Structure 1
């Protein structure tokens, strides 16, 4: 919970922790990570819960040895000239009014045409949920798994450092499908500006307009919004891509 009384799902706190250990909190123990969550994210949280989440994530100090099988690749500037060159991917959560229940929306946006190429919504959001969504998007867009002997990839996918994206399952999926996965530096949402902008629209045009009283209601409205956004909503920024 925040100091203003808003409930925050554990998944969001886990993302805060992953960002912390990727950045200034790389050498922090439980005590300092707890204080960081209080100071930087305005949370009311105790060290016992932080210790539990760190244990679940496998990021207690003696275990922080990275993942040599799937090394971290930092973002680099890219010139995007066509669809399916770069997708940005992130996760947003909403809540069921009057309860401590949350739902999650994971979306992948094509940087070139600004369309949502795939999305997932559900009461939890795991690496399995996200890789399933990405697999469907790759099939839907008829992308081929390219032989990478010449350094070519099926698609570049850019994410933050959330636990779903640094998991072995996500790494295995990217390797199997020859997806080049790059991660933005901590506290650098501008590197994922297109998906951040979309989530701002989703927050303004959907989450602030409706109070969801049960999950099925939220999922129905999300599905309707995605259909509207991809097929009927006017996208002024696309004028630059399609003169």
Structure 2
């Protein structure tokens, strides 16, 4: 029996889930590994091992640390001298500069990030004089801290719409009717098309995060978009669909994300990502894990992966990973969710049979409930589209040639 070797990336993902849920047993059961191993990885993450050095190395490290400290002091002194020379040059432009000029010069260097105490000492001004003068002349610029971003906006029906969903709508708009819109017109398009209550500043921020502000859209992607085409499916591992579902944790006032991957033929949820965030890297991990579970990682005919145009799937990270794995990635046309119907149907079931039945108090509860539901869906829930048998059972029938399948998607 060969021992399993787990990658550092897999260990980091397990540690992340264990810390987020606060339940190592649950995470261990979900990934079919020993709880002691999860505990060991978490301990290593919190207390990284200290390398034992010999006495000479310890002395060398101490010596170099002293040199580094001394070097920092010299750099600081040199920087202060350079600053003093620059300020004195400004002061020497006038033979006997008045207080107003001194205040202006001091404010110039303080606004560049230099310490006020040091600048005022070089200029020859007291702090009280400086602050009194700038309060009268209005040279100060007050910057408020502002409230933290809530991560959602409301629509006119008072529903909370997550920022990730808004980003997906923005991506759809610029690829369709709003291809020439700036952030201001995109704001009005969101209000008009999705009845969203949102201001132009937030739309600008989201566009900036997506890198779709107009001056930046001249960049040509190195991975051109492949439009999903009609396919005839006759067995498992020919076409997989992916999508992201958003949920809400009432007790913590934040969203969680479920990225699921379904086999169109046998309707199994082969793998999924559940977390408080969902990135392109998470989508790549789901694909890699699904290939391993279906024993397709090395060699064999790889499936086609179909997705919508969410931020996770249009990223260079995801497209590059698909290219390296030898997988064809196609994206459905905008406003055609029926081309991704199987994963959309699963997420509708998830909403009706799971999410709508709970008011989640904490992320740990979400993790447990969703994991149990997906396990029951795969192994126990009767599926009408595949002859009223569970997806895992139907997958075995297809693999053994006991069932014949032909569907057009």
TM-score for both structures, normalised by structure 1: 0.93
2:287 maps to which residue?
A: 134
Q: How do residues 103-142 of structure 1 correspond to structure 2 at under 5 angstroms?
A: 103-142=256-295
1:16 maps to which residue?
A: 169
The answer to whether the aligner puts 1:61 opposite 2:214 as a matched pair is yes
1:5-50 Cα offsets, whole Å, 9 max, x none, are 2222111111111111111111111111101111111111000000
1:158 maps to which residue?
A: 306
Q: CA contact under 8 A between 1:54 and 1:60: conserved in structure 2?
A: yes
Measured in 2, the distance between the counterparts of 1:145 and 1:21 equals 38
2:327 maps to which residue?
A: 179
The answer to whether the aligner puts 1:238 opposite 2:382 as a matched pair is no
1:160-179 Cα offsets, whole Å, 9 max, x none, are 11111111110111011011
Segments of 5+ residues of structure 1 without an aligned counterpart are 148-152
Measured in 1, the distance between the counterparts of 2:251 and 2:365 equals 14
Q: Which has the higher contact order (CA 8 A, sep 6+)?
A: 1
Equivalent in 214, 225, 240 of residue 72 of structure 1: 225
1:89 maps to which residue?
A: 242
Q: CA contact under 8 A between 1:96 and 1:212: conserved in structure 2?
A: yes
Measured in 2, the distance between the counterparts of 1:121 and 1:9 equals 16
TM-score for both structures, normalised by structure 2: 0.56
Report SS of the residue matched to 1:164.
coil
Q: How do residues 217-228 of structure 1 correspond to structure 2 at under 5 angstroms?
A: 217-228=365-376
1:45 maps to which residue?
A: 198
Q: CA RMSD for the aligned pairs? A: 1.6
2:179 maps to which residue?
A: 26
Cα deviation for residue 100 of structure 1 reads 3.1
Measured in 2, the distance between the counterparts of 1:178 and 1:73 equals 15
Measured in 1, the distance between the counterparts of 2:270 and 2:180 equals 38
Measured in 2, the distance between the counterparts of 1:89 and 1:208 equals 22
Report SS of the residue matched to 1:217.
helix
Report SS of the residue matched to 2:265.
coil
Q: Work out the number of aligned pairs and report it.
A: 238
Equivalent in 351, 360, 364 of residue 203 of structure 1: 351
Segments of 5+ residues of structure 2 without an aligned counterpart are 1-153, 389-397, 405-409
1:130-150 Cα offsets, whole Å, 9 max, x none, are 111111111111014459xxx
Counterparts in 2 of 1:212 and 1:124: CA distance versus 1, 3 Å: same
Equivalent in 336, 341, 356 of residue 188 of structure 1: 336
Report SS of the residue matched to 1:104.
strand
1:150 maps to which residue?
A: none
